[in-house]
Structure 1
């Protein structure tokens, strides 16, 4: 396993997901269900999503020239940076409406379905796909991304409410947006 790829993937995904709707969903579920059951559903959903993201990324790595992969990846990072900065003041009402629709299921199924639907095609899944396409170490990308998502979810479950007392979600989103912009510029610089 390439530990450089693992740690860079972990850092990017961790910061991007910190304060995101998934973490807020974990917080909301933790007020209603036992944390272990919620985490089983969340962890399973993230593992499934990341398997798909890494497989797609590996196919892209095998068939597309690295220059094009880096250009598309750089543009995606810039796009996510801009959209993350724009969404720094999101509303929790959307997450609450989604949660109410799924509350008739058990805690594991509810958390699995909520995370699967919320993250399918989300920026972190696309970034994981992009990273898998850039690196020939799918295990490192999968492990780094999955571990980051699991830890962010656990933070949401255990200390998420406390974190927002000290650091606003807007500040967290701004930091993640800036990080995406920096990585986008760095990837495009490497491509050319």
Structure 2
């Protein structure tokens, strides 16, 4: 006989993670990705990355974040943002080439998956998910609540990104996305530069 679902753990996780992620850098990155690439592979990449991150958070608790120095994660995330931002400015504006050079190597799914995975590794919502899993001793409910919250916030960003693409020319979107990625990269790396990781 299976135990009933712990609705308190599910609802607490869903609400806390949803609110914590609103306006976060990954929501803005998802918006920029959706404005630049087709929304389906972006959604698939974001969903896969958050599922993997939440599974790691629930399964390992905070051990994974403790095993990798936070500064390394910060450098990796900042570097990826800068790389994708730079690639946005060197892409050619040929018809049918809306993806740019970075997408040729990773594609929209790979770009979305890797960017979200690295930027969220050890982030507040992953650590909160690990803490909630430990507090409630209900890993499936915490996993489901956290995934639904992160997917919901990302879905909102995707919807806005798709709408933006209809009103603003693709070249301008690439430039705006590039500036956003560069800003996220600098903001991520700046605390390391000034000595406050």
* Same-fold status (TM-score > 0.5): yes
Match of 1:36 in 2: 40
Q: Give every structure 1 segment of 4 or more consecutive aligned residues whose post-TM-superposition deviation is greater than 6 Å.
A: none
Q: Which has the larger radius of gyration?
A: 2
TM-score scaled by length of structure 2: 0.60
1:137 and 1:23, CA in 2 relative to 1: closer, same or farther beyond 3 A? same
Question: Whole-Å Cα distance in 2 between the matches of residues 15 and 160 of structure 1?
Answer: 20
Query: Does residue 152 of structure 1 match 2:156?
Result: no
| 8 Å Cα contact 1:58/1:133 also seen in 2 | no
Match of 2:73 in 1: none
| 8 Å Cα contact 2:34/2:162 also seen in 1 | no
1:126 and 1:8, CA in 2 relative to 1: closer, same or farther beyond 3 A? same
Mapping of residues 173-184 of structure 1, within 5 Å: none
Match of 1:7 in 2: 11
| 8 Å Cα contact 1:57/1:131 also seen in 2 | no
Match of 2:139 in 1: 138
Q: CA deviation at 1:9?
A: 0.3
Mapping of residues 20-35 of structure 1, within 5 Å: 20-35=24-39
CA RMSD of aligned residues (A): 2.5
Say how many residue pairs are matched. 129
| 8 Å Cα contact 2:80/2:115 also seen in 1 | no
The unaligned stretches of length 5 or more in structure 2 are 64-77, 88-101, 164-197
The unaligned stretches of length 5 or more in structure 1 are 60-92, 163-192
The Cα offsets for residues 105-142 of structure 1, whole Å up to 9 and x where unpaired, read as: 20000000000000000000000000001112111100
Q: Secondary structure at the match of 1:106?
A: helix
Q: CA deviation at 1:21?
A: 0.7
Question: Whole-Å Cα distance in 2 between the matches of residues 98 and 128 of structure 1?
Answer: 29
